A and B are shown apart, each in its own frame.
Chain A
């Protein structure tokens, strides 16, 4: 199970993302927080494999959170960046900060599922969807 933390300042969008993650096999939401500082606290406590991170946070920016995550966590935590900025620089910076995937708002559930399943396959721990091949040895059954 990929333990996922949702970080998103807009409460309504956060709930949408939580529901999206909960629909995917192999993923579990371990928390929903609205600020960068809360995200760092949650990750520091442990039990987080993946952070679904909004790049625009009101307190510290998402990229700052990325940097801090890499600096302080003993175990690597993967980050999928969620951004409304189509600007190249933000995305390039995000990739430089260890972001494994990014999603540009607005996106549909199909796009979201596609990115997260590709991430799961890459991570080699799980693969959702129907009939997709999984490189992992610990293959899990994917529910609808």
Chain B
């Protein structure tokens, strides 16, 4: 008979494996969304040209180039970490595809901060996925991502305008297997937020959730280089 300790250790190892899988799948999904978006835009341009609407075709193409360049250069300047920039660009494409407004706070950023790339990608990616799932049902969904440095901490805050979380559920949202989504549709729900907390704890940080119109998730990571270099499993 497995002890409580052995069971939790198993669950932890399982989650660690899943984390790798989720990260890779998340990136693959982002790439697919970006490819889809590019194909759509190219299709629009071809269509407008076919219909003889040349001015509209030129305007459309020019606008897309400007929007893309503006976003890329803003993110590169503010975020610096290339893996995180790539992730945010990918999620932006996924959001557009799902009809969700993904807003990255323009005045934030991690300029000059030394942060662990793998954990950042896990945390930000899963928080955005979770928020997008929460608003997907309602339509007119909005997800706001705020990345900023506060004193000796990097703060990642993701808020959505979804149904929020009932107060009695707040303490449990980061537990493995906790989810409001039906298991039949999403076989692996309840993993993302558990991975977020695990990644945060691994680098000496913490994760919290609260309700303000929708759900707000805040992760704080210490900027101390010592804690970041440490890594390893908690406990």
Q: Is B227 an interface residue (CB 8 A)?
A: no
A-contacting 9-mer, from B38-46, B117-125, B151-159: B38-46
Judged by DSSP, the binding face of B is helix
Residues of A within 8 A of B46 (CB): 106-108
Contact A19 B51 (CB under 8 A): yes
Residues of A contacting B39 in the complex (Cβ-Cβ under 8 angstroms): 84, 105-106
Return the contact of A106 from the options B42, B98, B99 (Cβ within 8 A).
B42
Number of A-B contacts (CB under 8 A): 53
Say whether A56 contacts B51, CB under 8 Å. no
- Let me know if A84 and B43 touch, CB within 8 A: yes
B139 — which chain A residues lie within 8 A by C-beta?
59
> Quick check: is A46 within 8 A (CB to CB) of the other chain?
no
Contacts of A76 in B (CB 8 A): none
C-alpha spacing A82/B43, complex, angstroms: 11
B114 sits at the interface (CB 8 A): no
Chain B residue contacts of A59, Cβ below 8 A: 99, 139
Please judge, given known A-B contacts A59-B139, A84-B35, A109-B50, whether A13 and B98 are in contact too, CB under 8 Å.
Answer: no
Closest A residue to B38 by beta carbon equals A84
Cβ A108 vs Cβ B50 within 8 A: yes
Chain A residues within an 8 Å CB radius of B48: 12, 16
A106 lies within 8 A of B51 (CB):
no
Chain B residues, Cβ within 8 Å of A10 = 40, 44
**A101-144 vs B, Cβ < 8 Å mask (1 yes, 0 no):** 00001111100000000000000000000000000000000000
Least CB distance, A14 to chain B, in whole angstroms: 10
CA distance A31 to B79 in the complex (A): 45
CA of A10 to CA of B64 in the docked complex: distance in angstroms?
Answer: 14
Q: Is B213 at the interface (CB under 8 A from chain A)?
A: no
Interface pair A58/B43, CB less than 8 Å apart: no
Which of A19, A59, A106, A109 has the largest number of chain B CB atoms within 10 A? A106
Complex CA–CA separation, A108 to B50 (angstroms): 7
**25 pairs, A vs B, C-beta closer than 8 Å:** A10-B40, A10-B44, A12-B47, A12-B48, A13-B44, A13-B47, A16-B47, A16-B48, A19-B47, A20-B50, A56-B36, A56-B97, A58-B97, A58-B98, A59-B99, A59-B139, A84-B36, A84-B39, A105-B39, A106-B39, A106-B42, A106-B45, A107-B43, A107-B46, A109-B50
Q: Which residues of A contact B (CB under 8 A)?
A: 9-10, 12-13, 16-17, 19-20, 56, 58-59, 84-85, 87, 105-109
